[in-house]
Chains A and B, each alone.
Chain A
């Protein structure tokens, strides 16, 4: 059984001619993303999210437990992201075997979120050197339709904001702790320092004159598409992944091979991405807020509120 997908010249020709005429085969604009839909934030538990993005589908689960910190970092909690890509998503991924592509996907998600310190690790410390929270995110890809990185990053960030860890009291002068049941005391949300958003741009050299491109003569012939679907991803001649946050910071940039891109184009792309990043961050914020409100109303927590609203 072959793992590769063969694209016919007909599809390629339509795609290229379409790009020349300004059409994407899926009808989107060049810089238009597929917005996430069917977002399910679990009501029963904290930190479980399912969402779709085009035909992509993922589920994210955040879990926590208490353990001893690493010896060299006694004040920091532990945070892991675990990406699971298997042939459930698409037959092109092999079970139990990590291809380079799979490693790159999980590595970039990890770099964007974990290494950029978007989760405040010091706030996960309970007793220095003794007890810290260990937060694990399990990211499962359920269906593949191109662009796992962007959707994965979005899903993980949404789930982290949805998650709440049980409240804790320290007793006996810092010797012991009590973990309060979530029904006993309102659990605590994680402290998130910033919200990274990944955006993947794919590049297409529509003139098929690679030499011209590599020697750096003309750049106007290059077309870039945001958030490619499955077919566009097969036909790409290069891609670049930009991770940004709302504070106009670049968190991660990576370009793994493919046709070279002009430095000025890169700057333009990064600046142009800000708008999409803002939209997605606001969307996440709104989803979480609505969800909180809903939970508040359903549990009738207003009854428990003491004092006037200020």
Chain B
């Protein structure tokens, strides 16, 4: 495989970013007000994800009713046109099952599930385009959709991927970078340093872990602010429609 120059000596990456720059982050909430209780759309660079939340509602099967708290169910569907090469992806692929289980377990903890006993919160995620940082974008979309649905959460769960090129951490990898260097995806709760989600694939020297985590946590706080802005903008829009009293 031809070795692309991922990080030039001048400090520029293949898409022209510096090491500590995020990609364009766009988000919308309440995109599907009629079909579900909460919805969101997240674009991180060229990765595009739609998320829809139904619930808390009565589960269809009794096995999902947990008297201690809500059950969270994630359904992932990755569109076959989401990658450059058209490819049909099955839901039972191990990578998909792993991402689904990771998201379910992360949000089981971040949502105040004990407030909704014997209910089901069903989360549908549609991936329209993928270009790196898929898990991060999905988690961000789920957070926004859950907020839109009015489900009680402790705080935002904001996610970002970060890679390590030689000695330099590179923030928010795109698809080309992700293929070549190791990727760490983390999810942080609110503005703390608590990791709710953590996934590293491929090698990373132990001594660089701390610095990589540091930059990633700072980035998640930035993502949190960007999501917060969007939610507040939407909130203001709604409150301006209310009659003044």
Minimal beta-carbon separation of A155 from chain B (angstroms): 20
A249 to B206, CA, bound (A): 5
For A, the interface residue count at a CB cutoff of 8 angstroms equals 40
Residue A264 is within 8 A (CB to CB) of chain B in the complex: yes
Residue A248 is within 8 A (CB to CB) of chain B in the complex: yes
Residues of A within 8 A of B154 (CB): 211, 214-215
Contacts A253-B199, A267-B210; is A262 near B205 (CB within 8 Å)? Answer: no
**Do residues B195 and A266 form an inter-chain contact, with CB atoms below 8 A?**
yes
**Do residues A266 and B198 form an inter-chain contact, with CB atoms below 8 A?**
yes
**Do residues B101 and A267 form an inter-chain contact, with CB atoms below 8 A?**
no
A18 to B207, CA, bound (A): 34
> Could you list some 14 contacts between A and B, CB below 8 A?
A104-B97, A107-B94, A110-B94, A214-B155, A214-B194, A216-B189, A248-B207, A249-B205, A250-B204, A253-B200, A254-B102, A254-B200, A260-B189, A260-B195
Residues of A within 8 A of B189 (CB): 214, 216, 260
Residues of A within 8 A of B190 (CB): 215-216
Contacts A103-B94, A260-B189; is A255 near B198 (CB within 8 Å)? Answer: yes
**Do residues A257 and B213 form an inter-chain contact, with CB atoms below 8 A?**
no
- Which residues in B have some Cβ–Cβ distance to A below 8 Å? 94-95, 97-98, 100-102, 104-106, 108-110, 154-155, 184, 189-190, 192-207, 209-210, 213-214, 217
Residues of B within 8 A of A19 (CB): none
Minimal beta-carbon separation of A69 from chain B (angstroms): 15
A163 to B105, CA, bound (A): 38
Interface residues of A in 93-130 (CB under 8 A from B): 98, 100, 103-104, 106-107, 110-111, 115-116
**Do residues A267 and B213 form an inter-chain contact, with CB atoms below 8 A?**
yes
**Do residues B195 and A263 form an inter-chain contact, with CB atoms below 8 A?**
yes
Residues of A within 8 A of B205 (CB): 248-250
Nearest CB to that of A100 among chain B residues? B101
Contact of A258 (CB < 8 Å), options: B95, B109, B203, B204: B109
**Do residues A251 and B202 form an inter-chain contact, with CB atoms below 8 A?**
yes
Residue A244 is within 8 A (CB to CB) of chain B in the complex: yes
Residue A80 is within 8 A (CB to CB) of chain B in the complex: no
Residues of B within 8 A of A253 (CB): 184, 198-200
Interface residues of A in 246-277 (CB under 8 A from B): 248-264, 266-267, 270-271, 274
Residues of A within 8 A of B184 (CB): 253
**Do residues B106 and A216 form an inter-chain contact, with CB atoms below 8 A?**
no
**Do residues A104 and B101 form an inter-chain contact, with CB atoms below 8 A?**
yes
**Do residues A259 and B206 form an inter-chain contact, with CB atoms below 8 A?**
no
Residues of B within 8 A of A252 (CB): 200-202
Contacts A214-B194, A262-B193; is A257 near B105 (CB within 8 Å)? Answer: yes
A211 to B194, CA, bound (A): 13
Minimal beta-carbon separation of B161 from chain A (angstroms): 13
Nearest CB to that of B210 among chain A residues? A267
Contact of A240 (CB < 8 Å), options: B105, B193, B198: B198
**Do residues B199 and A260 form an inter-chain contact, with CB atoms below 8 A?**
no
Residues of B within 8 A of A216 (CB): 189-190, 192-194
**Do residues A256 and B204 form an inter-chain contact, with CB atoms below 8 A?**
no
A100 to B193, CA, bound (A): 28
Residues of A within 8 A of B207 (CB): 248
Nearest CB to that of B106 among chain A residues? A257
Contact of B206 (CB < 8 Å), options: A98, A261, A270: A270
Given contacts A214-B194, A263-B194, 4 further A-B contacts (CB under 8 A): A100-B97, A244-B206, A248-B207, A254-B199
Residues of B within 8 A of A111 (CB): 201
A249 to B207, CA, bound (A): 8
**Do residues B203 and A254 form an inter-chain contact, with CB atoms below 8 A?**
no
Minimal beta-carbon separation of B220 from chain A (angstroms): 10
Minimal beta-carbon separation of B121 from chain A (angstroms): 15
A263 to B198, CA, bound (A): 10
A303 to B109, CA, bound (A): 65
Contacts A111-B201, A267-B210; is A257 near B104 (CB within 8 Å)? Answer: yes
Contacts A251-B202, A260-B109; is A103 near B193 (CB within 8 Å)? Answer: no
Interface residues of A in 231-251 (CB under 8 A from B): 238, 240, 244, 248-251
A107 to B197, CA, bound (A): 17
Pairs A-B, 6 closest by C-beta atoms: A257-B105, A216-B192, A253-B200, A260-B194, A255-B198, A248-B206
Residues of B within 8 A of A215 (CB): 154-155, 190, 192
Minimal beta-carbon separation of B187 from chain A (angstroms): 9
**Do residues B217 and A263 form an inter-chain contact, with CB atoms below 8 A?**
yes
**Do residues B109 and A259 form an inter-chain contact, with CB atoms below 8 A?**
yes
